[in-house]
Amino acid sequence: MTKKDVTDVALKGKVVLVRADFNVPMKDGEITNDNRIVQALPTLQYILEQGGKVVVFSHLGKVKEESDKEKLSLAPVAKRLSEKLDKEVTFIPETRGEKLETAIEALNEGDVLMFENTRFEDVDGKKESKNDPELGKYWASLGDVFVNDAFGTAHREHASNVGISTHLETVAGFLMEKEIKFIGGVVENPDKPVVAILGGAKVSDKIGVIENLLNIADKVLIGGGMAYTFLKAQGKEIGLSLLEADRIDFAKDLLERAGDQIVLPVDGKVAKEFSNDAEITTVSMDEIPADQESLDVGPETVELFKKQLEGAKTVVWNGPMGVFEFSNFAQGTIGVCEAIAELKDATTIIGGGDSAAAAMQLGFEEDFTHISTGGGASLEYLEGKELPGIKAIANK
């Protein structure tokens, strides 16, 4: 089902409510990575060019009590957005009330206003997170059109996405549209052959994704901490490597059903301690010492995965191959990243989270067709679930 986007509605002179995902990492009140702000710019610039009056809002972190508000204000985000747009962004440190309403009424075409963190409404009964109908209705009353560009919260049914859409025509922003096209495209109609690469720590986090991707992908390559539960299911000695003992039967069953569709690592980098300075040995996955843990896949696994990627038309990657935060255990993730980046005739997609962070950190941002901005949302989308935030967008 094709969704309406921001180009499908008249915007001139309209107050356009834009739900963005500005849940950016902060340290001591400073933004440490503004990628999510940058990703929202095309939608905001388009609305401004069309003569819309922009009211943009977002959540930031988790707000459970009054004391959380101090460090989770969107004021620094408004300042950074102003710099990126090269125009003044009026910041109203309220989530409702006369001050906010008056400021919106005073907007001229081409003006931008941002109001406070939507999760400030969670302090009094989780009104935002539990999609309080009155709050959704109130926020909807502030504008004429609703543009949802926050894919990162599409898997949540909140007042600031689903609640507003109950009362206002809702269209996708350009970022949301891109996520639907690429992540949704993997699930609904990918170019074959499809290769999925899954990593990260836990099998339990990705059960639904693995199950669904086995229906879609020609090969599912598994690395990262989650691989050792599968290797244990094959009867291998995994030493002190990460293990989810309660998932061994699931892994065993999956391996029996999938056959050679699932590809596991063949070698790994082992150490006696969880440290970047630990002494490293590269061993076959059949020879992990009982008193050591594997913290990354080895060079033979990278070569094996490269071979599996040959000729792929669609590649989706979610989760690092090892403890990539430690430079000495980042080689597997770097190798897989390079292998995907070198595929010139394939649609290459990173499904958010740690693998997106890794690709950016390692300088591969430009080499992928699409890097998702949503961790949890992209995982649930890859599971084949219908996301409430996308369902709420009007169909063409």
One DSSP character per residue, 14-80 reads: -EEEEE------EETTEES--HHHHHHHHHHHHHHHTT-EEEEE---S---SGGGGTT--SHHHHHH
* Burial grade of 260 (CB within 10 A; 0-12, 13-18, 19 or more): exposed
Query: Domain residue spans in the chain?
Result: 15-176, 190-383
The mean pLDDT value for 296-320 works out to: 96
Residues annotated in a binding site for ATP: 206, 325, 352-355
* Burial grade of 291 (CB within 10 A; 0-12, 13-18, 19 or more): exposed
Mean pLDDT of all residues belonging to the chain: 94
The residue from 353, 374, 375, 389 that is catalytic is 353
Residues annotated in a binding site: 21-23, 36, 59-62, 119, 156, 206, 325, 352-355
Helix (H, G, I), strand (E, B) or coil at 99: helix
- H helices of the chain, in order, are 35-49, 75-85, 98-105, 133-140, 164-165, 174-188, 207-216, 227-233, 248-258, 299-309, 331-341, 353-361, 375-382, 388-391
Q: Check pLDDT > 70 for residue 52.
A: yes
pLDDT at 243: 94
The mean pLDDT value for 283-289 works out to: 96
The mean pLDDT value for 83-88 works out to: 97
Residue bearing the bigger pLDDT, 12 or 185: 12
pLDDT tier, 59 (very low <50, low <70, confident <90, very high otherwise): very high
The residue from 202, 236, 272, 306 that is catalytic is 202
The mean pLDDT value for 274-285 works out to: 96
pLDDT at 68: 92
Between strands 293-297 and 281-284, the pairing is unpaired
Secondary structure string (H, E, C) spanning 252-267:
HHHHHHHHHHEECCCE
DSSP letter (8 states) at residue 379: H
To the query of whether residue 36 is one of the catalytic residues in this protein, the response is: yes
Written as one letter, the residue type at 245 is A
| CB 266, CB 300: distance < 8 Å | yes
The mean pLDDT value for 286-301 works out to: 96
> Would the CATH topology of 15-176 be identical to that of 190-383?
yes
pLDDT at 116: 97
| Residue owning tokens 């400021």 | 103
- Encoding tokens for residue 335? 């190798």
pLDDT at 206: 87
For the full predicted model, state whether its pTM sits above 0.85.
yes
Residue-wise pLDDT for 357-384, tens only, equals 888 888 888 899 999 988 889 989 998 9
Architecture per CATH, 190-383? 3-Layer(aba) Sandwich (3.40)
pLDDT at 1: 57
Task: Write down the CATH superfamily of domain 15-176.
Answer: Phosphoglycerate kinase, N-terminal domain (3.40.50.1260)
The residue from 36, 53, 178, 247 that is catalytic is 36
Residue-wise pLDDT for 133-183, tens only, equals 999 999 999 999 999 999 999 999 999 999 999 999 999 999 999 999 999
CA distance 375 to 353: 4
Residues annotated in a binding site for (2R)-3-phosphoglycerate: 36, 119, 156
- In angstroms, what CA-CA distances link 92 with 73, 79, 87, 113, 192? 11, 12, 16, 7, 49
* Burial grade of 114 (CB within 10 A; 0-12, 13-18, 19 or more): buried
| Range in 120-124, 272-276, 354-358 with the lowest mean pLDDT | 354-358
Q: Check pLDDT > 70 for residue 219.
A: yes
CA distance 320 to 371: 14
Residues annotated in a binding site for substrate: 21-23, 36, 59-62, 119, 156
The mean pLDDT value for 56-67 works out to: 95
Q: Check pLDDT > 90 for residue 125.
A: yes
pLDDT at 356: 85
The mean pLDDT value for 7-22 works out to: 97
- H helices of 269-312, in order, are 299-309
DSSP letter (8 states) at residue 227: H
| CB 362, CB 332: distance < 8 Å | no
Nearest Cα residue to 239 out of 292, 310, 186: 292
Between strands 370-371 and 89-92, the pairing is unpaired
To the query of whether residue 376 is one of the catalytic residues in this protein, the response is: yes
CA distance 42 to 173: 9
The residue from 184, 208, 376, 384 that is catalytic is 376
